[in-house]
Amino acid sequence: MLNQIAKRLMTAIPSIIGVIIVTFLLTRVLPGDTAAYFAGPAASEQAISEIRTKLGLDRSLPVQFVAYVQDLAAGNLGTSLTTGQPVIEDIRARLPASAELTLLGLLFSILVAVPLGILAAVKQGSWIDHLCRIVATAGVSLPVFFTGLLLVYVFYYILGWAPAPLGRLDFFYTSPTTITGFYLIDSLLTGDIEVFRAAWSQIWLPAVTLAIFSLAPIARMTRASMLAVLASDFVRTARASGLKPSKVVMGYAFRNALLPIITTLGMVFSFLLGANVLVEKVFAWPGIGSYAIEALITSDYAPVQGFVLAMAILYVLLNLAIDILYGLVDPRVRLEA
């Protein structure tokens, strides 16, 4: 297992290098002048030129890239011109908010989509099967930002069941003591039930928005994988042996259908990290997605580069986690590796 992890990490190095190069080049060809933006509309050409020289933007691209790589090697992602803080500190402060929202949305979708896909496969052609298809079609048809706005309109404006989308906590509450960075977990660990309720009231609606977006692929893959396994010989043999239907479905069929489902979960998690950007803007969520959008609007290079690099590292770790899960679910995968 350790050799497999080491091999995966080694194969990920070229991908990370490619991400660094492409991100650097893309940020330099984007429209907009960083120096002119931060100098202000009334700034003179001399003032803009001085800011450009101070930021090192007057140097050639190869020189800028070498300086950027040297900073990366030293663990320096640069300084955000918008916040005035080191990018790595901004990402460290905002990443838990994005991770908590994404993981909760994925958890919601798993709790709904996996049982729905199993029931749709077991009762093929029934109303549950048709419901699964409807959910899958609706999930892929609705844009995530539209779903978020619709849920805000219904649950906040009309029904009043959710608070105003103003971030992770209402203004009347202070954030819990930082342990994991996840407000729900930290508030429980510190015994602050009021903050837990306040954090839950703010996070459940954007998490449901992400869950609706990710329901379709999980439900469809679960159904398709279960149908393929239920039609196999060993399942028919298990049924003919007189085993309970629940034992056949969950103990034999579902376990053998897990590998493609795990693969789909990894892909969905990657999609959610991208969809998080829109959801964070809709719900004023202080995550790294909204941080990157704000930096992109102001042509602030360092946060954009730091955001893309952080996402690339998360994808590498995600793929590594999927490989480890493969070995835990099916030891044959570990032996073949």
Pick the range with the lowest mean pLDDT from 45-49, 129-133, 237-241. Answer: 45-49
Q: Quickly state the pLDDT bin for 323 (edges 50, 70, 90).
A: confident
Contact 218, 114 (CB under 8 A): yes
Write the pLDDT tens digit of every residue in 232-275.
888 888 888 888 888 888 888 888 888 888 888 888 887 887 78
Is residue 135's pLDDT more than 80? no
Cα angle: 117, vertex 130, 132; to 5 degrees? 30
Looking at residue 196, what is its pLDDT?
93
Is residue 189's pLDDT more than 80? yes
* Alpha-carbon distances, residue 159 vs 152, 154, 156, 163 (angstroms): 10, 6, 6, 10
Looking at residue 335, what is its pLDDT?
46
Q: What is the DSSP letter of 125?
A: T
Cα angle: 102, vertex 104, 105; to 5 degrees? 65
Looking at residue 185, what is its pLDDT?
92
What b/e readout covers 234-266, taking b as 16+ CB neighbours within 10 angstroms? ebeebbeeeeeeeebbeebbbebbbbebbebbb
Write the pLDDT tens digit of every residue in 162-182.
888 888 888 788 888 888 889
Is residue 139's pLDDT more than 90? no
Q: For a pLDDT cut of 70, what percent of the chain falls above it? A: 92
The first and second tokens of residue 133, run together, are 């298809």
Q: Give how far the C-alpha of residue 300 lies from the chain's centroid of Cα atoms, to the nearest Å.
A: 22
Give the whole-angstrom CA distance, residue 83 versus residue 64. Answer: 22
Beta bridge partners of 86: 79
- DSSP H helices, the chain, are 2-29, 34-39, 45-55, 61-73, 87-122, 127-141, 144-151, 183-189, 193-230, 233-240, 245-246, 255-256, 258-282, 288-297, 301-329, 331-336
Is residue 34's pLDDT more than 80? no
| Exposure on the CB side of residue 217, measured as CA atoms within 13 A | 18
Looking at residue 100, what is its pLDDT?
92
Contact 104, 207 (CB under 8 A): yes
Domains, the chain, in order of start with CATH, read 2-73 (no CATH), 90-336 (1.10.3720.10)
